[in-house]
Each structure stands twice: as C-alpha cells, then as structure tokens.
Amino acid sequence: MTTSNDEKWIDKKISRRDMLKLTGVGVAGVAVGASGFGGVMKAMGYNIFEPVADSTTAKHKVDFYGKHQTGIITPVQTNIYFASLDVLVTSQKELQQLFQQWTPLMVRLMNGEQMVEMTTNTRVPPGDTGEAKGLDAAHLSLTIGAGPSLFDKLGMQHVKPAELKDLPHFPKDQLQQEWTGGDLCIQACADDPQVAFHAVRNLVRAASGKVAIKWSQAGFNAFPAEGGTPRNLFAFKDGTVNPAITDEQDLHKTVWVDKGWLKNGSYLIARKIQMHLETWDRTSLKDQEATFGRYRDSGAPLGKENEFDDFDIEAKDDKGDYIIPDTSHVHLARKSDARMLRRSYSYASGVLSNTGAHDAGLLFISFQKDPAQFIAVQNSLGRMDKMNEYITHRGSAVFACFPGVQKGSYVGEALFNAL
C-alpha cells in the first residue's frame, strides 16, 4: 500500500477561523473531534508525516532508528508505562496513516522534545501536554505491537502470523477482562516516570478518535548502586537467566523473528501478576527460598554461591532430596528447556477496597521469537509451582512487535507492504 504525495505532505496554512471549524474547537469552549490533535497540528501548518532525525545532542538519548524497535534489547530503564489500546479506525488505510503520523512524534519524544513547538495562539489546545518540558530524554524507548484482534478487526487475517494468537488458559489463571487483550500496545520505558507517562499520553492524544486505551499499568525497577539484577517485591532478583543483550547469536535464537514481514521483530507477552505480599511476609525465609529455588540475598541457586552459577536441577543431597526443590519456580522453569528475554517491572497501585491488601505485584513482560517459548515455561510451572500460593495472574496479552524503522520509513511499514 502507498500514500500519495498529497496525503503525505500537508503544509497548507489556513486562517484561525477555518482551523477552528476543521478541528472542532469552538469559541465558547474546546472540543476535539475524530480528526484528533493530528488535525490541530495540520491546521497549524505542521507537516505531521515529515521525517524527524535522531538528535545528536540530546542528553540520555536512545536512538529511534535501527534494525529493531527500541525497548527490547535497550538496557532496562527504571520505569515503564504500558498501554493496551483498542483501535477505533475501520480501514487498513486509516491504520497506516496512524502509524505514519506516530513515527515522527515518537522520534521527537525520544529526543526529549515537545511533540510540536508551542504556539502563541492561546485559544487552541497546546500541541503537547507539557508535563515533560524541562526534562531530558531519560533514555525513553518506545515499542509498538499489534495484537491478534487487530488483524481480525481490519480484515488482515491473511497476513496474521500463525504464532500470533491469544494465549491458552493456564492453571491458576484468574484473568480479568479489564486487564486482558488489546489491538495495539505502546510500551514506554524511561528513567523518569513522568517521561514515560507523557509519551503514551501524547501519542494517544495525537490519535484521538483513532485509538482508545483499553488498559494500562505503570511500573518501576530499582537497581543496586553497584549494578546488577533488580529485585521484585518479594525481594528476590528478577531476570537472572536472561540472554545477554550483547549476544547477537543468542538473541537470534531466543528473541528475534526470522521470517515474513515480522522479521527482526519479536513477540511481546504481558502478564499482570498480583503478588500476595501479606501472605509472603508471614512466610519463613527458608520457605521463601525453597519457593524460588534461590537464596534471597545473593540470588544464587540453592547449593551454589553466586547469582550466575550454573546448576543441575537433578542434583540431590545426602538424603536423596533435590537440592533445588522440584516444586520451586527455578526447577520447573529450567525443566521446560525454553528461554525468553524478560523485561519485567514491579507495580504498586494502592490497596484493594474489599480486603485492604496491597494491590501490588509484577508487570511481567517477555520478548521471544515465538510465544510457544512462554507457553512451554508456563505449562511446566503448571499446578506444581509453589509460587502459585503467593501470586495470581490477573491480566494477559500478546503482541507482535514490528521490526525497527529506517529513516524515511514508518513503524509497521513491512506489514502494509505485505497486504
């Protein structure tokens, strides 16, 4: 599919009165119609499809352009704002134009810039909500993915990857519809929570009338001063066995899709996992460590000294018992013989009104070249995983994350070339 020059390059200046008519901004008040803030920016004379370059001077900057999307093998930041979206457009053409509109805006956001320059006209909404003004790029990364429902909704089943389908029901799942699924996702990660939130807020605002947030979740990580693996809210290190983000051969085996229009993309799985902190806090340290299969302080596998020491799940002690219990999280996960790249964040969203317990847990996010990798691990954990006593899976979604973008192109172009 292609876009004509007339559609791609919109420069026309119009009068303020005409602009108000076009965008639905009235003299007596402000309202934005289905054209969204893209319409506002067009009317103000901004070319919303014009390519934007990665800044060479921005502080704490992650480059947007490249072989892969950012936010997958980007070094993990301290904050996330994850949003699952419903698509409101009804045609493939409108979806393509949305991605074309978003692409330069994403570059601006990752440059630490405002979405558009401030206007002197105070009678229209500003082009950027402004809460990130004065902050730097904060290593912002943005990742866009498409859910299984998007292809069905817009008649694109013939290019829907066979691997992209809703996850099966797993033992102990108690999924809530309000935290499950989505047509598109935006993963915004940054070293400042306001920068991450600002990015999602403004991309959704620019697409007003085209997308709506289905569910979202903010999260955080904390890294030791000396560096190393972050800890989850159970105080155990999370992500020890990840593939190294510098090991291209391992990433090719584990993370990157190697065929079709999704080549150099990846599959994102998101799971909202409630952690029952009050129950955990009443559990002995010995039982906590037996649940994980690791020592809490060092992160080492049971029977070992260091976090990254290799281990044999079949090893037994003098009494013939498994050194790493066969009901432990580590034992069962290793038994699956499947790997993925974890990029999880803790969350804390107040307390539950019906119990007064913490509404807190893990926004589990993993990237893999095939969702079957996650399914294998989850099936291995099954009902035996001792961790099930302390957690409940509340939300779930899977998305195909597009390949990276070259300058002059746009997010998702490979998909539309395949139609």
- Residue 211 and residue 84: Cα distance in Å, rounded? 10
- Crossing angle of helices 92-110 and 193-206, in 10° steps, is 150
Contact 106, 202 (CB under 8 A): no
pTM of the model: 0.89
And the tokens for 263?
Answer: 């080549």
Contact 40, 32 (CB under 8 A): yes
- Residue 15 and residue 13: Cα distance in Å, rounded? 7
Single out the residue of 394, 180, 359, 375 nearest to residue 272, CA to CA: 394
For residue 202, give the amino acid letter. N
Residue ranges matching CATH 3.30.70.100 in the chain? 48-167+181-265+403-418
- Residue 94 and residue 74: Cα distance in Å, rounded? 30
Q: State the residue for tokens 């903010």.
A: 218
The structural architecture, per CATH, of the domain 48-167+181-265+403-418 is 2-Layer Sandwich (3.30)
Reduced DSSP (H G I as helix, E B as strand, rest coil) percent helix, strand, coil of the chain, to 5: 25, 20, 55
Mean pLDDT by 10 residues, the chain (419 residues): 42 41 40 49 56 96 98 97 98 98 97 84 89 97 98 97 97 94 98 98 97 98 88 95 95 98 98 97 98 97 96 96 97 95 97 92 98 96 94 98 96 98
And the tokens for 391?
Answer: 């957690």
- Residue 342 and residue 212: Cα distance in Å, rounded? 27
- Residue 396 and residue 82: Cα distance in Å, rounded? 13
- Crossing angle of helices 36-43 and 16-23, in 10° steps, is 170
| Count helices and strands in the chain by DSSP H and E runs | 12, 9
